[in-house]
Structure 1
Amino acid sequence: MEPPVRRLQPTVQRFGRTRGVRRIAHLGAVVATALAVLPALTPLQPTPSAEAATVPGTATVLPTEDAEPPALAISEIAPRAVREKDTVTVRGLVTNTTDAPLSDITVRMRYNSYPLTDRDALERHADGSATEPYQSGPSATIDTDLPPGSAISFELEADAEDLNLQGGFGVYPLTIDATSGQEGELGKVHTFLPYTGTEKTEKLRVSWVWPLMDSPQRADDDTYLDAGLATELTEDGRLGRLLTTGAQDGEIDSTYTGPTSVPDDEEATESPNPAASPSASPSASPTEAPDAEAQPGPTPEETPSPADPVPITWAVDPALLHDIQRLGESSYWSLSNATESGPALEEHEASIDAQVWLAHARLWLAEDPLLAVPYANPDLPALLGADLTRDAETSVGLGRSTVADLLGREADTELAWPADGVMDEATRDFLYDNGATTFLLDESAMPAQNWLGRTPTGAAPLELPGGEEGTALVVDSDLTRVLGADTHTPGSSVLAEQRFAAETAMIAAEAPGTDRTVILAPPQDWNPSADYATGLLDATENLPWLSAVSLTDVRTDADTAEDRQGLTYPRKAADSELDTDHLERVRSIRRQVRLFNSVLTEDEDPFRPAVLRLESAWWRGDDENAGTVLDRVDRAVQESKAKIHVIPGDPITLASKNGTLGVLVANDLSDHSVTVHLSIFSENSERLSIGDYTKSMEIGPGGKTTVYVPLSATVNGRTVLHLNLHNADGEPITDEQTTIPVNATGLGSGALVISGVAALVLVTALTPRAVRKWRRDRARSAAVAGAGPLPDEDGPTAVSVDGDEDTMHHNGRDQTSTGRDGEDAEDARS
C-alpha cells in the first residue's frame, strides 16, 4: 500500500531578484493562507558570508550571483539512521529560478524497498546513472502559483513501517523531485536512507585525521602570494572553522593571544579574568561545562558530550604555522596585479587574527595526537631522486623545531603522511630513518586484493628496512572524496552528511562479523562549511554502526593482514613529481643562496625556509604558481646580495705620481653582519699600479666602512679600476663589478723642474732669430709700399720688384733669394 499523499497549502517567502544564498527556516505546520509567510523556516546551509539567520517572515537578500540557490534544496533528512518505528521526515525548499510564475508544483519521494548491493551501486545512484527508484513515497502539492524569485518550503513524512523496507540493515536509494505544470521537472536530488531495522548493528571503527594544512603561502619570508591567508584565520574563515570545529567545544575569543601569567602558587584554572583565555570559558574547557539544568541545550544523542569528544588526530604543516606566525608579527607584502616588470607588491598591517588563531591552536592542540609533515610538505620522491637528500633532511628537522616553537609541544615522530599519501621505497626508507614506523597512505599505495569482496580494514602491516615491520594506515579514498564535497551551497551540507552516513553504513553492512577500522582523512586543503564539519563529528558519535577510536590506537590484525597488496608507487604519482626544469631552477637559486650565506658572519641560512617551500609537493601540476614563487625567491636572493656592495665613486684625477683612493663598502642588510673581501685591479697596470690595502672586513647590519687604497702612476693617461666583493674562497658575490675611471695628469715635482729648465733654454735660443725675422718683414712691407729701401744690417741693398721674386743686385751678380742665404733658408725649413 502506498503511503498517503499529503497536500500542502503553499507557504511562500518572497525574495527580490537579487541572487545569492538564502537562509531559510521552516515550520512543521503549514498555515492556511496561501500568501502568508512562515513564522519560522528550516535553515538551509549558508555560505560563509551569510551566517546570520533571517528574521522569520522577511525576505532574504542574496549577496552574490555565484550562490544562486537550486530549484530544489533539501534542508533536513531525519533521522539519519532509520529504525523500524521511526518516522522519516524530509524537509526542503522549492525556489522559482525561472522568469515566469510556476503553478501545479508537486514534490514527491521515490525509493526502493530493497537496499543497494555494494558501494559501486551507491556511487551510481548518487551520480544519477542508475535506474531511478520505482516505489512511490509521500508527495506534496502546492496549489498556488509561485512567483519568480520566490521560494516555498515543503515537508514529506512517512512511517518506516509503511515504506515496507524488506532488506533489513542497509542503505536504500532515495530520490526527491519537484515538478510543475508548465516547466515539467524543476529539480531532482539523489540521496540515501540508511536503515537499521530492529537488528543490532555491528560497530565499524572509524579514526579521524583532522588537517590544518595548506599550500605554501609565502615566496620569500616577507612576501605572500596573495592576501587571502588573513581571511582564512577568522572565525568564519576556512582555517578558523577547522580549528574551532576540531576543538569540538571551542569558541574563538578575538582578544586571546596567549595564556596569562599565573603566580606559581595558583592553579591555571583560577584565572581572575575568564575572558582572557578560552580555557576559562565554559565553551572552551571540557572541565568547566555549564550546569545542564541552568543551561538547557542539546541532548547527548544530538551532540558529543564535552567530556567525551570524538577522538581526532591533528595533522599540521609546520610551514603553514610559520606563515601564520609571520602574518601576525609585523607588516608584510603580498603579490597583487601584475605589471610589465612583474607582480606588484601591496603592503598590509600585521594580522591580529593570526595571533589569535595561533594562540588558540597552541591551547587546543596541546593534548590530542599530533602528526606533522616535513616543512612545506616536500616532494620527497623527487628530492631523493635528484640527489637533494640534504634538503629533505632539513625539511624534517625544520618542521619539528617549528612545531615545538609555535605549538609548545612535539609532534609524534612515529607518524608520517607522505605527500598525496603515496611513497616509493626510497621515501619509505628515508622517513623510517627519521623515526617513522606508521604511515598514513592513500589506498592506491596499498590496494585491496582483487579477490576481496568487501572494504578492507584500514590497518595493514608494512615491511620496513632491516626486516622491521611497520604499520600502514590506509585512507578510504571514496570517503575522502565525500568529505571533500562542496558544502557551501544551499542543501549541499545535508546531502553530504547523508552520503557519509550511507557510505559508512554500507561498509558496516558488507561484513557484519568482521572487525575493521576505516581511516577518515579529508583532503589536505579541506574547506567544509561549519555545519557540515560539525555534522560529521555528530554523525561519528551518534550513528549506531560507528565507533570512533584514536589513530594512535589503530592496530593491525593477523586475520586481515593479507587483505591488501604490498607497497605500490602508482605511475600517476611518479609522473606528477616536480619535473627537471623546476628542480634545475631550484638548484640555481640554491647556488645563489650559498654565495649569499658564505659572506654572513654568523652561521646563518635565512633563505632556507624559502628554498624548502620551492620544493613542496603542492607545486605538482601548478606551473603558474610554481613559476611565480621561483621568480620571486630568485629576485629576493639577488636583491639581498646586491645590498652588500661598493658605493660607486666619481672619476678620479691623479695630479701626482702617488695618491690614495677611499673605497666605501656598505652592508644594507638590516639583520645580518657580513665578512667580505675586496678585490681591485687596474686595466693598465703599467700605467697605474695598486699598493697594499685592507682586503677583508666585517661590517655590521646597516653599516659602512672605508678602505684606503694607495695608487701609483708611471705614465700620464686614463685607465679604469675594477672593484668587486667576494667571499673567502674568492667567489664573487654578484656578477656586477664597480668601475672607477682614473686620469693621471702629472709626474711629480722633479719632473716639473726638469720641464721648466728645458723650456727656458728653448726660449733663450729662439728669441734672437725671432727679432731678425721681424725686422726683415718690416723692410719688405715698406719697399712694397714705395717708401724706398730700408737699410740692411749688412749695408744698403738695391731692391726692385719684378714679378713674384725679389732680385738682389750685389757686386754685379744677380741672385734669386727668399731671404738671407743661410738663416732664411733655415727659417723656411723650420
Structure 2
Amino acid sequence: MTPTSDDLLPSTSRRRPGRTRLVALAALLAGSLSVVAPTAAGAVAGPTSALGSGASVAQADGAAPAAEEAVAVTDPVTVELVEIDKPVARGTELVTITARVTNNQDVPLEGARAELRLNFRTVTDPETLAEWISAPLDTSFSGTRGGDQQPVPTLAPGESATMVFQYNFGKATMQGWGPRQLAVTVSDGTGRLGRLRSFVVYDSQDGSAPGQPVDLSIALPVTGPALDPADATAQVVELARQAAEGGRLDRLLQVAETGTVALAVDPATVAVAATATGSDMGPLHAWADEITAAGDGTSVFALPAYDPDLGALAHSGIGVEATSAFLAAPLPQGWSAPASWQTNLAWPADGVRPDLATVSTAFSAGRNLVVVGAGALAPVESTTTPSGLAPVAVDGGQVATALVSDEVLTDALVAGTNLTTAQDSGGDAAAEGEDAAAAPAGAGMPTAQALQLILAELAAVAAQPGDPQHLFIGLPRDWKPDVAAYENALTTLVGSGLVRIAPLAELLAGPVPATPREPLADEAPQSGELSPDVVGSLERVRTQVAAFSSVAGDNAPVVTADVNPRLVAPLAVTYRDADPARGAAVTAAVDHAHATLAQVAVVPRVGINFLTSAGSLPVRIRNDLPVDAVVTVALRPDDLRLQVQGRPQEVIPAHSEKDVLVPVRALGAGIVDVTVDVLTPSEQRIGVSSFEVRVNAEWEAIGTWIGGGLIALLFVAGIWRTVRRGRSPYRATSADVEAATGEVKAAATAAATPGSTTEGSAAPAGPAHARQQ
C-alpha cells in the first residue's frame, strides 16, 4: 500500500532515475561521518517491555571530542543505529532498538528528550525510501509512537550515550509485509536537534510476504598498491605489509575464502607476491597460494595486468591495437595465471560512470563483460529495480554485457563493513568491544544502520511484480573490510529470508533483459585519468620498443618483458590518487624505454681514410642486450664520390661488439659525411649515427706509377753499376782462346797419325799469360 502524504514526506517533482537514491545515500553517509570514532558507551541497562516502553540510557565514560578532521556537522545531534535485535520482525514479536546519541555542539546538551516512532504503512518505492533517509531535520513525520519521550543524559561536547527502545508489534495495528520507516528523534525546547532515519521490515504473517528471496551476487576486486616495476624491492615490501596478518590484502583473502564473492584479480599483484625473493617472503608466497586456491570454489576473472585505467586508454585516441597491447603486458618473472581464470572482464575505475567509449574499447580488446557502477545505466522507470545485467550497444552493431552494480546496495554494504582509519593502521585493539562490532565503518555508517537500509531496498525489490530480480554488487578496489562485520552482515541478510547469495556464474548464465535504461554518455573523460598526451607518449615509446625487439628474433619477448610493465604501471587505477608518484613513474618508464633502445648502437669513430676505388668500410656495432641481435647496416653518404654497394646483415653476439663491413666504391677524392642506419630485419630503423670518410681514390694510381718508376730506376742502377765496375783480370783474352784452340787441333791431328803414341807427347800448354808466369 502506498503511504499517504501525512505519513511520509511531501511529494517532490520527478527526478532523473537513480539520482534521488544517490543523493539520499550521500546525505546519510555525510550524517554518519559527522562523528569520527565515537567512544564506546558504557553498559546498557535492561529495557522495559510494552508498546509504550520507556528507554534506558547509558552515558559513555571518558568520551573524547570529535577529531579535528571530521566533516562539518549539519545537525546539533547525531543519532545512529547501533542494533536491531530482529532486523525482520514477524507477528507479535518484541523488537529492541539501540541507538547512539552524540552531541556535536560546542556546548553541553541538556534537557533533551528522545523518542522512537514507526510508520505503520509499508514503503516499497525505491525513490520514497531514498527520500526518507535524506529528509531534512525539520521534515514532519507521523507514525506510531514507540514510547513516551525519554530524557537524554547531559552530554558534554563530543560525548555519546546509548539509548534502548522496545517496540511491541503485538500491541500495534500494523498489517501486511514490507519495510516501515523508523525514526529516533532528539529534541528540546528549541525544536528538533537530530534524527535517526532507518527502517524495520515487518511481516504480519498474513501471507503477503514474497515467496522467493532476491538473488544477490557479489564481486570483489583483488588489486594491490600501485606497483612500480622499476623499484622491485619497494613494491615487494609494500605487498608484504598489506598481505601480513590484518593487512588489507589479508582481509580480502579472508573475504574471498568465505565463498560468497566472485573474484576479479590483478594477476600482476599475485605474480609479484608469488615470485618475490628473500628469506622472509614465506608469508607473501603463502598469500599468493591461498588467494589462488580461493578461486577454486568460485568464479575468478583475471583483470589486465597492473589494472590499467580503461577510461584513460579509451580517451587517449591511441586505437584498439595499442590498447590491446597495454592490456596484455607480461607478468613478472614469467608467472602465468591459472587457466581457469576468465579473461573477458573489464572493470573501469571506481566511483565514476563509464562512458560508451570506455565500454566499446573494452569490448574491442576482447573484454565483452564490463562492470558499470556509480549509478550508470539507471532504469528509466524509477519505481522498478532491474536485473544486474544490461546490454550495451557498441561499435559495429555488436553488444557488450554490463554488470550493473546496484549503487545503494553497494555503498551501504561498503559503508557498513569498512574499517576505520585507526583499525587499518594497526589499531585493531580500538575496535574491540560492543561499538566496534556495531560501527566498524569510521568512513561510513554503523553496520546495523547499513543492514536495515539494505534490507529495505531488498524488500522493495522483492515486492515488485513478477519474479524477483538477480542483483549485483561490485565492491570497490579500496574496500578495507572488517571481516567479522562482513560475515555478520551476510549472515543477517541471508537469515532475513529476503536474499540469497548466489554465484556470479548464475547471473551471467541467465538472460540479459532489455530493460529501458538511461544511456551512457558517448564520451566523458574524468579528471583523474592520465592525460591523452601522456598516454600517447607512452604508446610511442612502446611502439618503438616493439619494433626494436625484432632484432632479437624469437627472443623478442626478452627485450619487451622489462619495458612494457613499466609503461603500463603509470596507467593503473590506483595511481589516480597518486599524482606526484604517477608523474615520476611516467618519466622513469619513458627513460628506461629510451635506454633499452640504445642497447644496440654504433660505436662512434673519429674518421676513416679510404684510399682505394673499391673496398669495405668497417662499422662497429655494440650489443648490450642479453640476447643476440640481428642487424642490417645501411650507409647514406652525402656525396656521390662514395657509393654504397650493399647493406650487410650481421649477428651481433650478446654483450659484445662487432665490425660490420659495408662494401663501397670511391669515384673521386674529398671528405664525405656518412650517415649510418642500424635496421632491424624488418627494416625498422633503430639507431642512427654518422662519421667522416676521407676519400682519396687516385692515390691508388699514383702509388702504382711510383712503384713502377722505382722498379725501373733500380734496374737502370744495376746496369750502371755493372758497367762502372769494368772487366775482371781473371777473364780469358782472345789470344788465350786462340792458343787453346790451336793446341787442341794439333793434339787431334797427332792422334790421327799412324804409329804415334801419346807417351812422348808434350803436356798441353796452358794459356799464354799462364805460361809467361
Distance in 2 separating the partners of 1:684 and 1:58:
94
Q: Given that residues 45 and 58 in structure 2 are in contact (C-alpha distance below 8 angstroms), is that contact kept between their aligned partners in structure 1?
A: no
Q: Given that residues 357 and 523 in structure 2 are in contact (C-alpha distance below 8 angstroms), is that contact kept between their aligned partners in structure 1?
A: no
Aligned residue identity for 1:479: L
Distance in 1 separating the partners of 2:399 and 2:651:
56
TM-score, length-scaled by structure 2: 0.62
Q: Out of 341, 344, 350, which is 1:411 matched to?
A: 341
Distance in 2 separating the partners of 1:590 and 1:440:
28
- Hey, what does 1:506 align to over in structure 2? 460
Q: Flag the 1:603–1:714 CA change in 2: closer, same or farther, 3 A.
A: closer
Q: Out of 167, 192, 196, which is 2:203 matched to?
A: 196
Q: Out of 466, 487, 492, which is 1:539 matched to?
A: 492
- Hey, what does 2:285 align to over in structure 1? 355
Q: Flag the 1:599–1:567 CA change in 2: closer, same or farther, 3 A.
A: farther
Q: 2:200 aligns to what SS in structure 1?
A: strand
Q: Flag the 1:166–1:734 CA change in 2: closer, same or farther, 3 A.
A: farther
Q: Out of 532, 544, 548, which is 1:596 matched to?
A: 548
Q: Given that residues 180 and 199 in structure 2 are in contact (C-alpha distance below 8 angstroms), is that contact kept between their aligned partners in structure 1?
A: yes
- Hey, what does 2:629 align to over in structure 1? 674
- Hey, what does 2:151 align to over in structure 1? 141
- Hey, what does 2:597 align to over in structure 1? 641
**Structure 2 matches for 1:485-524, cutoff 5 A?**
485=415, 487=418, 488=420, 489-490=441-442, 491-511=445-465, 514-523=467-476
Q: CA RMSD in A?
A: 5.9
- Hey, what does 2:176 align to over in structure 1? 168
**Structure 2, unpaired ranges of 5+:** 1-34, 48-56, 421-440, 707-773
Q: Which has the larger radius of gyration?
A: 2
How big is the shift at 1:583?
5.9
**Structure 1, unpaired ranges of 5+:** 1-18, 32-40, 44-56, 249-308, 332-347, 755-830
Q: 1:599 aligns to what SS in structure 2?
A: helix
**Structure 2 matches for 1:390-789, cutoff 5 A?**
390-391=321-322, 406-412=336-342, 431=363, 448=379, 450=381, 453-458=383-388, 474-485=404-415, 487=418, 488=420, 489-490=441-442, 491-511=445-465, 514-523=467-476, 525-554=478-507, 564-565=515-516, 568-571=519-522, 581=533, 584-601=536-553, 602-604=555-557, 605-606=560-561, 607-609=563-565, 630-648=586-604, 651=606, 665-669=621-625, 671-678=626-633, 696-700=650-654, 703-707=655-659, 725-734=678-687, 737=689
Q: Flag the 1:469–1:646 CA change in 2: closer, same or farther, 3 A.
A: closer
Distance in 1 separating the partners of 2:292 and 2:311:
28
- Hey, what does 1:128 align to over in structure 2? 135
How big is the shift at 1:199?
4.4
How big is the shift at 1:322?
0.8
Q: Given that residues 316 and 535 in structure 2 are in contact (C-alpha distance below 8 angstroms), is that contact kept between their aligned partners in structure 1?
A: no
Aligned residue identity for 2:600: I
Distance in 1 separating the partners of 2:672 and 2:564:
42
How big is the shift at 1:168?
3.2
Once the two structures are superposed, residues 496-531 of structure 1 have per-residue CA deviations (whole angstroms, 9 ceiling, x without a partner) of 2222122112222344x6343222333455444445
Once the two structures are superposed, residues 248-280 of structure 1 have per-residue CA deviations (whole angstroms, 9 ceiling, x without a partner) of 2xxxxxxxxxxxxxxxxxxxxxxxxxxxxxxxx
Q: Given that residues 383 and 391 in structure 1 are in contact (C-alpha distance below 8 angstroms), is that contact kept between their aligned partners in structure 2?
A: no
Matching of residue 217 in structure 1 with residue 226 in structure 2: yes
* Aligned-residue identity in percent: 19
How big is the shift at 1:685?
8.5
Distance in 2 separating the partners of 1:231 and 1:353:
10
Q: Given that residues 125 and 383 in structure 2 are in contact (C-alpha distance below 8 angstroms), is that contact kept between their aligned partners in structure 1?
A: no
How big is the shift at 1:120?
0.7
Aligned residue identity for 2:540: S
How big is the shift at 1:360?
1.5
Q: Given that residues 80 and 193 in structure 1 are in contact (C-alpha distance below 8 angstroms), is that contact kept between their aligned partners in structure 2?
A: yes
Distance in 2 separating the partners of 1:94 and 1:426:
45
- Hey, what does 2:252 align to over in structure 1? 242
Q: Out of 21, 41, 53, which is 2:37 matched to?
A: 21
Distance in 2 separating the partners of 1:470 and 1:693:
50
How big is the shift at 1:463?
9.6
Matching of residue 322 in structure 1 with residue 268 in structure 2: yes
How big is the shift at 1:177?
4.3
How big is the shift at 1:189?
3.2
Distance in 2 separating the partners of 1:60 and 1:158:
26
Distance in 1 separating the partners of 2:344 and 2:171:
50
Once the two structures are superposed, residues 320-340 of structure 1 have per-residue CA deviations (whole angstroms, 9 ceiling, x without a partner) of 221342356458xxxxxxxxx
Q: Given that residues 600 and 674 in structure 1 are in contact (C-alpha distance below 8 angstroms), is that contact kept between their aligned partners in structure 2?
A: yes
- Hey, what does 2:300 align to over in structure 1? 370
Q: 1:598 aligns to what SS in structure 2?
A: helix
Paired positions, count:
619
Distance in 1 separating the partners of 2:672 and 2:397:
72
Q: 1:497 aligns to what SS in structure 2?
A: helix
Q: 2:500 aligns to what SS in structure 1?
A: strand
Once the two structures are superposed, residues 341-389 of structure 1 have per-residue CA deviations (whole angstroms, 9 ceiling, x without a partner) of xxxxxxx999766434322111211121223445546749976996844
Distance in 2 separating the partners of 1:350 and 1:639:
33
Aligned residue identity for 1:728: P
How big is the shift at 1:214?
4.6
Distance in 1 separating the partners of 2:686 and 2:610:
34
Q: Flag the 1:598–1:209 CA change in 2: closer, same or farther, 3 A.
A: same
TM-score, length-scaled by structure 1: 0.59
Aligned residue identity for 1:323: T
Q: 1:518 aligns to what SS in structure 2?
A: strand
Q: Out of 111, 120, 127, which is 1:113 matched to?
A: 120
Q: Given that residues 116 and 165 in structure 2 are in contact (C-alpha distance below 8 angstroms), is that contact kept between their aligned partners in structure 1?
A: no
